């Protein structure tokens, strides 16, 4: 749980959890987000930190569930960075929906547990604006052999 006072900003709450928003890079063949009306669609984000992918492999075979939960937290922080840039700051972000893709063994069954780590972070940082609809999906593989990828839809408050 966050140790920040309730009056802290979203950025301060994020920092209390040991995270800072990374710089958002330029997209190649696609954009990091697309706005349509009041909705911002954030492209899938992997668990990069300082340009390094923090893990590779299949959850339940190469990656433990607890490690995948940590990777999900990093991926969702990357989503928050894109969302904050799109709406003018982290305190203006309201999450509408999150899709969590987990590359796992066919019998894993822990996709929701992995996704819970990202959901918890959103609520700790954004409060009620972090509550969201969610889907956790098991897949055979993800880009760069990442164990986790997160996509989200948000709006500005």
CA distances from 154 to 4, 6, 65, 96, 138 (A): 24, 22, 27, 5, 23
Which superfamily, per CATH, for 10-22+33-156?
RutC-like (3.30.1330.40)
Torsion of CA 30, 119, 100, 32, to 10 degrees: 0
d(CA 9, CA 94): 14
Predicted local distance difference test score (pLDDT) of residue 6: 64
Percentage of the chain lying above the pLDDT 70 cut: 96
Q: Does the structure show a pLDDT above 80 at 149?
A: yes
Residues across the chain: 157
pLDDT band, very low/low/confident/very high, at 2 (cuts 50, 70, 90): very low
Q: What is the mean pLDDT of residues 93-100?
A: 98
d(CA 65, CA 44): 20
Q: Is the pTM of this model over 0.75?
A: yes
Q: Per-residue pLDDT tens for 102-137?
A: 999 999 999 999 999 999 999 999 999 999 999 999
């Amino acid at each position: 749980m966050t140790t920040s006072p309730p009056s802290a900003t979203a950025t301060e709450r994020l920092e209390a959890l040991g995270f800072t928003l990374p710089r958002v890079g330029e997209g190649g063949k696609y954009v990091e987000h697309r706005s349509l009306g009041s909705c911002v669609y954030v492209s899938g984000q992997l668990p990069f930190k300082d340009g390094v992918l923090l893990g590779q492999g299949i959850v339940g075979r190469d990656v433990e569930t607890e490690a995948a939960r940590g990777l999900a937290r990093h991926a969702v922080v990357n989503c928050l960075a894109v969302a904050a840039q799109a709406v003018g700051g982290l305190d203006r972000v309201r999450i509408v929906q999150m899709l969590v893709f987990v590359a796992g063994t066919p019998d894993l069954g822990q996709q929701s547990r992995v996704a819970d780590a990202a959901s918890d972070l959103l609520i700790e940082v954004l409060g009620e604006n972090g509550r969201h609809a969610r889907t956790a999906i098991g897949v055979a593989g993800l880009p760069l052999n990442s164990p986790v990828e997160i996509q989200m839809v948000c709006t500005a408050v």
